[in-house]
Amino acid sequence: MGEQILDAKTYVAELMERARAAQKVAEKYTQEQVDQLAFAICYEVANSRETLESWAKLALEETRLGDYESKLSKVQSKCRQMFYDVKGVKSVGITEEIPEKGLVRISKPVGVIGSLVPSTQPEMHPMIQSVNAMKARDAIIFAPHPRSKKTSTLACADMRAILKKYGAPEDLIICIENPTVEITNELMRQCDLVIATGGQPMVRAAYSSGTPAFGVGAGNAIITVDKTADLADAAMKIKNSKTFDLAAGCSCDNEVLIEEEVYDAMLAEMKKVGGHLLNAEEKEKLQRAIWPQWPANHVINRDIVASPVENIAKLAGITVPEGTKFLMVEESQTGAATPFAGEKMTVTMAVYKFKGIDEAIRIVNENHAYSGAGHSCGIYSKDEDRILKYALGTYTTRVTINLPNALTNTGSWTSGLPFTSSLGCGTWGGNICSENISLKHYLNNTWMIREIPNFQPTDEELWSGFTPGQPI
């Protein structure tokens, strides 16, 4: 073990030396140069059918997660979205001035970032983070999941070739080709900032590394449909969210809460878009297929994850109608009482019937306390008072409103969230950040502070509007 750790230390130290040398070159780049680098990656990847197809094919072949068309469209669209987000944004030198406060912000690189890549996004994740890193004048070293290391290595090799083509050091982007736990842990110890996207053990390791870290929480998106919703619209969007890349993403719909007045009608709409409701016996078989060790633990069968309905049905020993896109099971228990209350990472969702928005909020919070705390929920409703009450009452960082959750949380053309592949979940999810990890998180800031006219208020001005001793 000692020899392995020593080898890991030496190996990572060599990578860090290369990355730091490249980063020192980038640190001297102008705004125009880093803008060109961000453009280069986004443009060259988005407009190379060969690159897009090779990434999607290898990802599917290597991981057996998701579907080809989703991976193809996902990377191409994210290239365009990422460049839209960073285009024209200042990241070099003076980036903000607040004259009335005498403040000037200067943005500087973080240095070398160590990024942990999840097996569910081995191609898209390195691309997104590389764009932010180039824009911030950072270098970045990726530690991919062993299950998807070939895909991440290919993506990084292609982006390194783009850097070389545009005259930048290739070592601004480095991928660990044969990752191990020891190497990944050593990377987290030696780099300047960790961005950990993946399972909770990985995130906890990042926070324990002694290096500043942005971690993300586990997903378990819970969607509420109330009696005022456009049911057909909600059903189609829920289907699109649930089935994109066969539920490989952390934001796909895991539970759908339906108000009792429209419960049967909504189930009928879900059936129209490819949903199939299992009976009690089939539900029990499906549970055993997804969580073979339940109730001992909630570990999901890897052969189920992001797998087609046909394969799930075969593993569970059930029969589903032709054209089925996703499976539904009725549930009334919440939290640790049932595994269906947690994240599934399959085209399977639990369906709850609720009475009144307060009950919906209770179910969301009880299930999130068990799985996916802080990540996201959504509501389909036309009642603004209910929507606000739902957003105020749920312990989440993202509440989508009449939108497909999985196609919105990481940024979309129909929402204003920053485009990303890493979702901070606040202290609810064990994270320091309660927003999408974006360009600003890849930067250090220096504040210049100048004297301004004394603005100290009088006692009358300061304490006005409040009465000492008045109970709240």
Let me know: does 437 contact 429? Beta carbons within 8 Å: no
CB half-sphere exposure, 470, CA atoms < 13 A: 5
Active-site residue, 250 included: yes
Report d(CA 124, CA 302) in Å as an integer.
21
By C-alpha distance, which of 165, 201, 159, 172 is closest to 184? 201
Report d(CA 180, CA 463) in Å as an integer.
59
Report d(CA 155, CA 438) in Å as an integer.
20
* Catalytic one of 250, 252, 425, 433: 250
Indicate the SS3 state at residue 255. Answer: strand
Which residues sit opposite 213 in a β-bridge?
A: 194
Report d(CA 311, CA 297) in Å as an integer.
23
Measured CA distances, 119 to 67, 152, 197, 435 (Å): 14, 9, 10, 22
Written as one string, the DSSP assignment of 150-203 is HHHHHHHHHHHHHHHHTTS-GGGEEE-SS--HHHHHHHHHHSSEEEE-S-HHHH
Q: Which secondary structure element, helix H or strand E, spans residue 37, and what is its range? A: helix 31-46
> What sections of 291-383 are H helices per DSSP?
309-316, 357-370
Let me know: does 113 contact 141? Beta carbons within 8 Å: yes
By C-alpha distance, which of 10, 53, 70 is closest to 154? 53
By C-alpha distance, which of 327, 332, 324, 171 is closest to 253? 327
Written as one string, the DSSP assignment of 400-418 is EESS-GGGTTT--TTS-SP
Q: Are strands 377-380 and 213-215 parallel, antiparallel or unpaired?
A: unpaired
By C-alpha distance, which of 218, 443, 222 is closest to 354? 222
By C-alpha distance, which of 428, 421, 308, 316 is closest to 368? 428
Written as one string, the DSSP assignment of 259-308 is EGGGHHHHHHHHHHTTEEE--HHHHHHHHHHH-TTTTT--PPPTTTTT--
Catalytic residues: 250
